[in-house]
Amino acid sequence: MTVQVKKRPSNPHSFLASKPSDKLMDVVIWVLVIFAVIVTLYPFLYVVSVSISDGAAVARGDVILLPKGFSLDAFSMVTKNSQLWISYGNTFFYTIVGTLCNLVFTCLGAFPLSRSHFFLRRQLNFFVAFTMYFSGGLIPTYIVVTGIGLYNSRLAMILPVLVSAYNLMICRSAMSSVPQDLFENAALEGASDFYQMLHIAVPLIKPTLAVLALYYAVARYNDFFNAMLYLGDSNLQPLQIFLRRVLLQASNEVLQSAGGQAAAAAAENTLKIRYICIVLAAIPIFLITPFVQKYLVSGTMLGAVKG
C-alpha cells in the first residue's frame, strides 16, 4: 500500500495553485509585490548611481538607473566640508546620549506604573496618557523651552523629548506581563524596587527595549523640528539642518568650501553633491534597521496592546 504524501507548501498561509484562475492570481500577486519592491528601491538606487557616476554624464541626464562612468571627486568635495562633519558629530551625540536618556527615563517611568499595588498607579497613568491626547500647542511649548534657557543649548535636543508617552505605555505593558511571582519573591528576600526593576524587569523585556531603542534612536537621528526651533548656532546643529540647506534651500556651501579648482566643475557637481549627502545621511539607518528586524513585529504589535 502506498501512502500518498501531499507536499505541503513551505508557507502554511499559501497553497499550491491548481486552477487556472489561481495561476492568474499567483501572477497578480507576484507582480504586485515586485512592483512594490521596485518602487521602494528605485529612488535609492538612482541616488546612489548619481552619486558615483561621472559628473558630466549626470549633467547630461544620462543616468536613469545604473551609474554611468565612475567618479568619486564629488565625494571628496563633500567630505572636505567641515560643516558636514560638525553636523554629523552633533547628530551622533544627540542620537547616542538622547537614546540612552530616553531608555533610562522610560524605564524609570514605566516600572512604577506596571506595579499593580502602587497606590498612585491609576492617577499617574492618566497623568501620562492625557499628554498623548492634548497638548498646549507649539507656541506655549516654545515659550516654555526658551523660557527655561534651552535656546542654543544641546539639552534642547534631549530634554523636551525625554520620554514619549506612547513608548512609556509600551514599556509599561511589557513590564506588567512579567510574572508577578518573580517580583514578590524578590521583595520577600528584601530586594528594593530599584533592584527589582534593574535585575528582573529590564532583563526580561529586552526585546521590547530593543524596539524602543530603535524607535527612539531613529527619532533622535531624524529630529529636525526641535533643531530648527531651538538651535540657531551652526556648531550645535545636527545633520538634518545641514541636509535641508543643501537639499532644499540650494545652498552651495559645499562647493564654496571645496575651493577654486572645484568651482570650475560646479555646475555638473551640484546635483551629485546633493545626492551624496543623501547617501551619507541614509547609511547609518540602512546599516542598523535590518538588525532589529526580528523584533519589529512584536514591537509593532505591542503598540496595539491596550493600556
Window of 72-80, 111-119, 203-211, 257-265 that interacts with other proteins by CB under 8 A: 111-119
Tell whether the torsion through CA atoms of 298, 300, 306 and 307 is positive or negative.
Answer: positive
Shortest Å, Cβ 21 to other proteins: 5
Q: Fill in the per-residue mask, 152 to 181: x = in contact with other proteins (CB under 8 A), - = not in contact.
A: -------xx-xx----x-------x---x-
Pick the closer one to other proteins by CB: 137 or 260.
137
Pick the closer one to other proteins by CB: 62 or 259.
62
Q: How far is CA 217 from the centre of its chain?
A: 6
Residues 214-233 that bind other proteins (CB under 8 A): 218, 221-222, 224-225, 229
In angstroms, rounded to a whole number, what is the distance separating the alpha carbons of residues 111 and 176?
Answer: 8
In angstroms, rounded to a whole number, what is the distance separating the alpha carbons of residues 223 and 226?
Answer: 7
Is residue 74 a contact residue for other proteins (CB under 8 A)?
no
Is residue 248 a contact residue for other proteins (CB under 8 A)?
yes
In angstroms, rounded to a whole number, what is the distance separating the alpha carbons of residues 63 and 47?
Answer: 10
Window of 76-84, 92-100, 135-143, 258-266 that interacts with other proteins by CB under 8 A: 135-143
Q: How many residues bind other proteins (CB under 8 A)?
A: 102
Cα angle 279, 87, 220 (rounded to 5 degrees) comes to 80
Residues 15-54 that bind other proteins (CB under 8 A): 15-17, 19, 21-22, 25-26, 29-30, 32-33, 36-37, 39-41, 43, 46-47
In angstroms, rounded to a whole number, what is the distance separating the alpha carbons of residues 185 and 173?
Answer: 21
Pick the closer one to other proteins by CB: 179 or 259.
179
Residues 6+ apart with CB under 8 A from 52: 67, 70, 71, 72, 75
In angstroms, rounded to a whole number, what is the distance separating the alpha carbons of residues 22 and 34?
Answer: 18
**Which secondary structure element, helix H or strand E, spans residue 268, and what is its range?**
helix 266-288
Residues 75-94 that bind other proteins (CB under 8 A): none
Selected binder of other proteins within 208, 231, 278, 295 (CB under 8 A): 278
Is residue 124 a contact residue for other proteins (CB under 8 A)?
yes
Shortest Å, Cβ 80 to other proteins: 21
Shortest Å, Cβ 69 to other proteins: 17
In angstroms, rounded to a whole number, what is the distance separating the alpha carbons of residues 190 and 193?
Answer: 9
Shortest Å, Cβ 264 to other proteins: 19
DSSP state of 19: S
Shortest Å, Cβ 92 to other proteins: 14
Is residue 143 a contact residue for other proteins (CB under 8 A)?
yes
Helix (H, G, I), strand (E, B) or coil at 142: helix
- Residue 217 has which C-alpha cell? 534612536
